[in-house]
A and B are shown apart, each in its own frame.
Chain A
Amino acid sequence: MNTFDFLLQGLLVAAQPMNLLYALIGVTLGTAVGVLPGIGPALTVALLLPVTYKLDPGGSLIMFAGIYYGGMYGGSTTSILLNTPGESSSIVTALEGNKMARAGRGGPALATAAIGSFVAGLIATVALAFIAPFVVKLALVFGPREYFALMVLAFVTVSSAFGDSTLRGLTSLFIGFALAIIGIDQLTGQTRMSFGVPDLLDGIEVTTLAVAMFAIGESLYIAAQGDLGPDKVEAVKGSVWMNRQDWARSWKAWLRGTAIGFPIGAMPAGGAEIGTFLSYATEKRLTKHPEEFGNGAIEGVAGPEAANNASAAGTLVPLLTLGLPTTATAAIMLAGFQQYGLQPGPLLFATNPQLVWGLIASLLIANFMLLVLNLPLVGLWVKLLTIPKPWLYAGILLFATLGTIGANPSVFELGMLLAFGVLGYVMRIFGYPIAPVVVGLILGPLAEQQLRRALSISQGDVTVLFTSPVAAVLLVIAAAALIIPLILRARGRGEVLAQLAASED
């Protein structure tokens, strides 16, 4: 039997009425919980894992697939409307999408995210089925030094692509690094930066940091503007549908995002974040409307959102074929498998092809359901914006703390939430970008692990990092991405400063 036969067989499994019902319940719950502020796909999946306990493995995993994809859709809606991503992979969507919503173009932003997610989910799920073995082989060629180089590239693009200052971008990134080393060192078991506090041994939760900096930092900043700030959250004017120009600007971004997101998700390192950030950087570079980036460019929503969903499908490649979770969401899904004594990996494809292919096929079906569920209901999500500010932000903080309390009901965790919230607020005042902090926290430990692995193999010889052609090319690109903006800013500085001085008089 070839892949096509397996996929057809999987579709037959997934198309059984009960399994269709499970998928429908899954996507509905996933969207409903995922759309709540501060609750991203990972928390959605974690919250809804108990719902699936009572089902048989096949039905449970199918519902799970629906929750996973539903959480992704719902999460993007929240980021666009409320700028409170619960999951790091939605950060980029929040960057441009939220700006669009504020400019009264929340409808098209939601539509391009939903359709982009559908297109990407469809292509990526088919790709998962057909080229997974090939991608895995390709990804396995990458050694530690190539991964390290790839992460360095991501660090640089993230910190110098955002904001207007290399210094502030790098500072944010290094604050993220500083937070990342808190806890137990993964390779030696030594405690670092925990100062004997047991709560710090597990390190800083990425979700706690992201929720604190985005939800609480933003709420503080908005509140502190007082009467000088905008009076209310902008309601969406005009159509929630995309016009011809939106379509023209979106479809290439969807396909590019899919092409970027899927391979990166499929590689056994990093997660959906790198794909969304690289897609964002790509769209920013290729756009014909560079002036709109940072102010709500539709490509900046379409590309990363497609990359996000393509990555989510890509993440399943290492998870299903190697049993290797590369994101928090994937780790929770692994727990979902293990509750039935199933160990994802090459063996599972051989011993339980019906289950694996039923799961992959139900991802396709869930994707169709989500498009039907989301596009007509876009107007419902848009209504969230018309909630008066006091109630909206009170609700955001309610759900932001709910997520943290739900994950770890400790006073210490809430204290960290408060501290990072204040940090996020201060960084906002001074114009520091937030995303590099979160990226540094997630990717920092992974990069360290790869670097130390590479240097252990070479017995401490640093030159080994540059002797692999792939790693060398990636590092050269990273260096260029760091230095070129610096030179450009240094050259343009005089004019920029003059403008600043002029506007202050």
Chain B
Amino acid sequence: MSKGHTPSTETRRPDRAALVIAVFLAALGGLIFWDASRLASMGGYSGIGPATIPFVIAGGLLILAVWTVFEALRGDFPARDRQQFGPVVWIVGGLAAQMLLLKILGFSIATGLLFAATAAAFGKRKLWMTIPIGIALCLAVWLVFAGLLQLSLPAGPLEHLFW
């Protein structure tokens, strides 16, 4: 930890990431406030309407944002582990690929890609092996859940071969 501006051992550097969280909370509160102000006139005879609780929540979020700023400046947030972003990109990419390809290629291929991407995030990078395994497994899952249990899982070219 770098030297603080006072000699006390309690002093730590202001936490930039925590300040970003405070901004996010304030923005969320502002968004709710803005959305609820459309409905503000609908109080009814009790003065309590659909906007009342959103206003309370928005106010709460703003207070929490200020509180977060204080804790960030005091350095009260706990220490964080170093994050490796490669694996995160793999998983997020896998989920995004599944989301975009689900309707076109069907459940098995889209989810098989997610399966392989997740395995890659955890170190199994042999995609020529993991993608077929993933697709085969997802096809089996599809046959059980969509076939036997009649869950509505999107079918693609592969599923149409079987069903």
Mark A residues whose CB is within 8 Å of B.
Answer: 47-48, 50-51, 164-165, 167, 170-171, 174-175, 177-178, 181, 185, 187-188, 190, 192-193, 195, 216, 219-220, 223-226, 228, 389-391, 393-395, 397-398, 401-402, 405-406, 409, 411, 414-415, 417-418, 421-422, 425, 429-431, 448, 451-452, 455-456, 458-460, 494, 497-498, 500-505
Chain B residues within an 8 Å CB radius of A224: 83-85, 87-88
Q: Cβ of A501 and Cβ of B118 under 8 Å apart?
A: no
Interface members, chain B 128-153 (any A CB < 8 Å): 130, 134, 137-138, 141, 145, 149-153
Chain A CB within 8 A of B21 CB: yes
Q: Cβ of B95 and Cβ of A417 under 8 Å apart?
A: yes
Task: With A178-B57, A224-B88 as known contacts, state yes or no: A398 contacts B137, CB within 8 Å.
Answer: yes
Interface members, chain B 71-121 (any A CB < 8 Å): 71, 76-88, 90-92, 94-96, 98-100, 102-103, 107, 111, 114-116, 118-121
Chain B residues within an 8 Å CB radius of A422: 92
How far is A402 from B95 in the complex, measured between Cα atoms in Å?
12
Q: Cβ of A451 and Cβ of B53 under 8 Å apart?
A: yes
- Least CB separation from B70: chain A residue: A167
Q: Cβ of B35 and Cβ of A397 under 8 Å apart?
A: no
Q: Cβ of A193 and Cβ of B54 under 8 Å apart?
A: yes
Task: With A47-B149, A394-B116, A406-B151 as known contacts, state yes or no: A181 contacts B81, CB within 8 Å.
Answer: no
Chain B residues within an 8 Å CB radius of A175: 28
Chain A CB within 8 A of B23 CB: no
Q: Cβ of B99 and Cβ of A398 under 8 Å apart?
A: no
- Least CB separation from B124: chain A residue: A390
- Least CB separation from A458: chain B residue: B46
Contacting B18 at CB < 8 Å: which of A174, A185, A430, A505? A430
Give A384 Cβ to nearest chain B Cβ, in Å.
16
Contacting A418 at CB < 8 Å: which of B28, B84, B96? B96
A–B complex contacts, Cβ < 8 Å, 30 sampled: A51-B149, A164-B78, A167-B67, A174-B64, A188-B42, A188-B50, A190-B39, A190-B50, A225-B83, A390-B118, A390-B121, A390-B124, A391-B124, A393-B122, A394-B115, A394-B122, A394-B134, A397-B94, A398-B114, A402-B141, A405-B154, A409-B152, A411-B99, A411-B102, A418-B99, A451-B48, A451-B53, A452-B52, A455-B48, A505-B1
Give A115 Cβ to nearest chain B Cβ, in Å.
30
Chain B residues within an 8 Å CB radius of A190: 39, 42, 50
Give B18 Cβ to nearest chain A Cβ, in Å.
7
- Least CB separation from B103: chain A residue: A411
Q: Cβ of A431 and Cβ of B151 under 8 Å apart?
A: no
Chain A residues within an 8 Å CB radius of B95: 216, 397, 401, 414, 417-418, 421
Would you list the 6 A-B pairs with minimal beta carbon distance, nearest first? A223-B87, A226-B84, A390-B122, A414-B99, A390-B119, A460-B47
Task: With A174-B60, A223-B122, A452-B52 as known contacts, state yes or no: A397 contacts B68, CB within 8 Å.
Answer: no
Chain A residues within an 8 Å CB radius of B149: 47-48, 50-51
Known pairs A188-B49, A451-B48. 11 more at Cβ < 8 A?
A181-B32, A219-B91, A223-B84, A223-B88, A228-B84, A395-B137, A398-B137, A409-B154, A411-B102, A414-B95, A504-B1
Q: Cβ of B88 and Cβ of A220 under 8 Å apart?
A: yes
Task: With A192-B36, A398-B138 as known contacts, state yes or no: A171 contacts B102, CB within 8 Å.
Answer: no
Chain A residues within an 8 Å CB radius of B138: 398
Chain B residues within an 8 Å CB radius of A48: 149
Contacting A498 at CB < 8 Å: which of B9, B17, B35? B9
Q: Cβ of A406 and Cβ of B152 under 8 Å apart?
A: yes
Task: With A187-B50, A409-B153, A500-B79 as known contacts, state yes or no: A178 contacts B137, CB within 8 Å.
Answer: no
Task: With A171-B68, A431-B77, A497-B10 as known contacts, state yes or no: A47 contacts B151, CB within 8 Å.
Answer: yes
Chain A CB within 10 Å — which of B57, B61, B141 has the most? B57
Chain A CB within 10 Å — which of B87, B90, B96 has the most? B87
Q: Is the interface of B mostly helix, strand, loop or mixed?
A: helix
Chain B CB within 10 Å — which of A216, A225, A226, A429 has the most? A226
How far is A195 from B38 in the complex, measured between Cα atoms in Å?
12
Contacting A501 at CB < 8 Å: which of B12, B81, B141? B12
Task: With A220-B91, A504-B1 as known contacts, state yes or no: A402 contacts B153, CB within 8 Å.
Answer: yes
Task: With A398-B137, A401-B114, A402-B111 as known contacts, state yes or no: A456 contacts B48, CB within 8 Å.
Answer: yes
Chain A CB within 10 Å — which of B46, B67, B86, B111 has the most? B46
Chain B residues within an 8 Å CB radius of A398: 111, 114-115, 134, 137-138, 141
Contacting B46 at CB < 8 Å: which of A405, A459, A505? A459
Chain A residues within an 8 Å CB radius of B78: 164, 430-431, 500
Chain B residues within an 8 Å CB radius of A421: 95
How far is A126 from B64 in the complex, measured between Cα atoms in Å?
46
Give B15 Cβ to nearest chain A Cβ, in Å.
9
How far is A430 from B79 in the complex, measured between Cα atoms in Å?
8
How far is A494 from B10 in the complex, measured between Cα atoms in Å?
8
Chain B residues within an 8 Å CB radius of A402: 111, 141, 145, 151, 153
Chain A residues within an 8 Å CB radius of B162: none
Contacting A50 at CB < 8 Å: which of B46, B57, B64, B150? B150
Chain A residues within an 8 Å CB radius of B116: 394
How far is A394 from B39 in the complex, measured between Cα atoms in Å?
44
How far is A421 from B114 in the complex, measured between Cα atoms in Å?
14
Give B103 Cβ to nearest chain A Cβ, in Å.
7
How far is A395 from B111 in the complex, measured between Cα atoms in Å?
10
Chain B residues within an 8 Å CB radius of A405: 102, 107, 153-154
Give A185 Cβ to nearest chain B Cβ, in Å.
4
Give A176 Cβ to nearest chain B Cβ, in Å.
10
Give A407 Cβ to nearest chain B Cβ, in Å.
9
